[in-house]
Amino acid sequence: MSENKINVGIVGIKPGESWAGVAHVPALQSLGDRYRIAGVVNSSKQSSEAAARALGVNQGFASVEDLVHSPEIDLVTVTITVPQHLEVVKAALNAGKHVYCEAPLGNGLAEVEQMAALAKVDADRK
């Protein structure tokens, strides 16, 4: 964490239109003394860069893997469709990141239990 702020990477954002754009971003910005949006990623590099520009964020990543492996990101916020949650949460936890995932967490109990097990393993490593 740089500057004693938690650096947030958002997965799936359309500024001003998506739920992340109308709810998460304003909430994080209102808590600017504690959180900084450090990067975003969408389905394409072009879309990521456009979202980053619109939000005044330094980094629009080309892929989820790039975002979760960036040393600039402490917390990954997962705001994409539910069928993609498990893959992104797994990538973020395996990269040692903290994760906030919108509800519903997964496609059924089995996916949620898998995420919980991964989070426990990650917590035990720290």
Domain spans, the chain = 2-125
Q: Model confidence at 96, in pLDDT bands (50, 70, 90)?
A: very high
Q: How confident is the model at residue 126 (pLDDT cuts 50, 70, 90)?
A: low
Q: Percent of the chain, pLDDT > 90?
A: 83
**What single-letter DSSP state applies at residue 125?**
H
Q: What is the pLDDT of residue 1?
A: 54
pLDDT value, residue 124: 76
Q: Mean per-residue pLDDT for 91-112?
A: 95
Task: Provide the mean pLDDT of the chain.
Answer: 93
Strand order in the sheet with 35-41: 59-61, 35-41, 6-11, 75-78, 98-101
CA distance 18 to 84: 16
Tell me, what amino acid is at 65? E
CA gap 36, 34 in Å, rounded: 7
Architecture of domain 2-125: 3-Layer(aba) Sandwich (3.40)
**Which strand (E) or helix (H) includes residue 26?**
helix 25-30
How many CB atoms neighbour CB 46 within 10 A? Answer: 11
Rounded average pLDDT over 105-115: 95
pLDDT band of residue 121 (cuts 50, 70, 90) is confident
